[in-house]
Amino acid sequence: MCRSIFIVVVLALAAASCSSATSEESSTVAPVTVSTTTTTTVPSDEICKIGDLRFGTEGLVAALGEDVGDATTISTIQWEDSATCERVVVAFASDSGAPASSLGPTGVSVLAYAGIVRVVLPEGVDTTAVADMLSDGDLAHRIFVVRDDESHLFIDIHAETGHTIGARASTTSSPSTLIIDIIDVESDSTPAGVTVSPSSIVLTPTPGPTIYPFSVEGYAAPSLEEIRVEVRSKGNLVGNRSLSLAGWSDAWQGYDTIITDGPSGMVDIYVGTIGPEGEPDIGATLTVDLP
């Protein structure tokens, strides 16, 4: 008889902190772009040929920003195309509503397994005018602004399925912007990607082989106050847990729970909302292979 035990784990997304000297354009990695409306500029062959910053393909690719910045709000996210890459530009406002002049400590990483560029923002950036957006890119597909369980904001830029990406980042001051450039890189392997639905995004586990214990981690749609995680084996429900959310309406909401043990073989994991009769409603389902 199989048993399934769930342990809620606090989603810890540590903001990368690293100080750098103020300049008109300080170094970092890759472009990030997101906005409730997509803004496209005239294609240019030059935007990703300027400067000598290298593109990183895994882990932390840039740590930038000032020790203290006046940026408090994500005001816009724009996407730009180029013959050599794609660029995402994030602009910030200050408490007064005017364009911010500087951004606090910020980290940019490539989550290679998922095909995601992640921007961990300083704690001072605590509001956003953008929750998510679609881009017109061949590389950058969709951008999500997410709050973790401590309400700290981060940005995930999802690549199109099947692409292995590299990224670099830089900042400008007065006004403060974060610039992320993304390129397609050659690789012998392709990212496992993420499982997407209107109500939930599942980053881990990824479909395929995995072992116990494993984390069910991702983010849920704005305004939801609860999502359900279910484990099914051969069509039978063998375990479930409801995860409480803060109900933030301005951004997606991070969640994380651990499954310590359960059935072997092909197992379906459902993450999403539950209908009036207690059945799965709108959500993401993926299949993992457990020993």
pLDDT band at 50, cuts 50/70/90? low
User: Could you tell me which of 180, 196, 121 has the C-alpha nearest to residue 151?
Assistant: 121
The answer to whether the Cα torsion of 271, 277, 281, 285 is positive or negative is positive
Q: Where are the domains of the chain?
A: 25-184, 194-290
pLDDT tens per residue across span 11-36: 333 333 333 333 334 333 343 333 33
Pairing state between β 116-120 and 25-27? unpaired
The CA distances from residue 241 to 43, 142, 195, 282, in Å, are: 47, 28, 19, 16
- CATH top-level class of 194-290: mainly beta
In this predicted structure, the answer to whether residue 134 has a pLDDT above a threshold of 60 is: yes
**263: phi > 0 → left, psi -120 to 50 → alpha, else beta; which?**
beta
pLDDT tens per residue across span 142-194: 999 999 989 999 999 999 988 899 999 999 999 999 999 999 998 878 888 89
Peptide bond into 205 cis (omega under 30): yes
In this predicted structure, the answer to whether residue 44 has a pLDDT above a threshold of 70 is: no
Average pLDDT over residues 222-239: 95
Average pLDDT over residues 95-118: 96
